[in-house]
Structure 1
Amino acid sequence: MEFFHKAKAVRMRNIHEKYLMAEEDVESVTQERNGSDKRARWTVEPVRGSFEAIRLKSCYGSYLTASNERFLLGATGRKVVLSKLSGIDSSAEWEPVREGSKVKLKTRHGHFLRGNGGLPPWRDSVTHDSRRSSDSFLWDVDVVETTSLALVPVAIPPLHRRQSSPPMSRTSSEKSEQEGGTVVAGAKGRD
Structure 2
Amino acid sequence: MDFFHRAKVVRFRSHHDKYLTADDDEESVVQDRNGATKSAKWLVEIVPEYDNIVRLKSCYNKYLTASNQPFLLGVTGRKVLQTHPSRLDSSVEWEPIRDGAQVKLKTRYGNFLRANGGLPPWRNSVTHDIPHRTSTQDWVLWDVDVLEIHVDYVPPPPPPTHSDSLNFESSTPSAVDAKSTQFSRQESSDSYVGSPPKMEGRTIYYHVAEDDGEVDDENVQGYSLIFKGNGVEELTKKFEEETGLEGVIVCSRSPLNGKLYPLRLQLPPNNVMMQVVLVLQSSKVAKDFEAQGLL
User: TM-score interval w.r.t. the shorter chain?
Assistant: 0.7 to 0.9
* Shift in Å, 1:87: 1.7
Distance in 2 (CA, whole Å) between partners of 1:137 and 1:149 is: 32
Q: Matched residues in 2 for 1:88 and 1:44: separation?
A: 14
Question: Greater relative contact order: 1 or 2 (C-alpha under 8 angstroms, separation 6 or more)?
Answer: 1
Task: Report the equivalent of 1:181.
Answer: none
1:142 corresponding residue in structure 2: 145
Alpha-carbon separation, structure 2, partners of 1:109 and 1:115: 18
Amino acid in structure 2 at the alignment position of 1:74: G
CA deviation string 1:41-90 (max 9, x = no partner): 00000012000000000000000000000000111100000000312311
Give the residue type in structure 2 aligned to 1:127.
Answer: T
2:4 is paired with a residue whose SS is coil
1:120–1:22 CA distance, 2 compared to 1 (3 A) = same
Q: Which runs of 5+ in 1 are unaligned?
A: 151-191
Offset, 1:149: 4.5
| CA distance in structure 1 between the aligned counterparts of 2:35 and 2:46, rounded to whole angstroms | 23
Which protein has the bigger helix share? Answer: 2
- CA positional deviation for 1:25: 1.0
Contact 2:2 2:52 in 1 (8 A): no
Q: Secondary structure at the match of 2:81?
A: strand
Aligned counterpart, 1:50: 50
User: Which one-letter code corresponds to 1:52 in the other structure?
Assistant: N
Query: What amino acid does structure 1 have at the position aligned with 2:150?
Result: T
Q: Distance in 2 between matches of 1:5 and 1:106?
A: 17
Whole-angstrom CA distance in 1 between matches of 2:17 and 2:3: 19
Q: Does 1:19 align with 2:22?
A: no
Q: Provide the aligned length of Structure 1 versus Structure 2.
A: 150
Q: For residue 82 of structure 1, what is the aligned residue in structure 2?
A: 82
TM-score by length of 2: 0.50
SS at match of 1:76: coil
Match for 1:8: what amino acid? K
Kept in 2, the 8 Å contact 1:47–1:53? The answer is yes
Q: Quick check: 2:43–2:58 contact (8 Å CA) kept in 1?
A: yes
Deviations 1:84-114 (A, max 9, x none): 0312311000000100000000000000000
Name the counterpart of 1:107.
107
User: Secondary structure of the equivalent of 1:11?
Assistant: strand
The CA distance in 2 between the partners of 1:93 and 1:138, in whole Å, is 17
Question: Residue in 2 aligned with 1:68?
Answer: 68
Quick check: which has more Rg, 1 or 2?
Answer: 1
- Residue 195 of structure 2 corresponds to none
The one-letter amino acid paired with 1:65 is: T
What is the letter of the counterpart of residue 135 of structure 1? D
Distance 2:20 2:152 in 1: 25
What is the identity, as a one-letter code, of the residue corresponding to 1:111?
A: N
Cα contact 1:97–1:104 (8 A) shared by 2:
yes
Distance 1:122 1:29 in 2: 13
What TM-score do the two structures reach when normalised by structure 1?
A: 0.76
Amino acid at match of 2:9: A
Counterpart CA distance in 1 for 2:81 and 2:88 is: 17
State the 1:115 CA deviation.
0.4
Partners of 1:95 and 1:6 in 2: how far apart? Answer: 15
Distance in 2, Cα, partners of 1:88 & 1:18: 28
Is the CA contact 1:3–1:141 (under 8 Å) kept in the aligned structure 2? no
Residue 2 of structure 1 is matched in structure 2 by 2
Letter in 1 for 2:148: E
SS in 2 for 1:5: helix
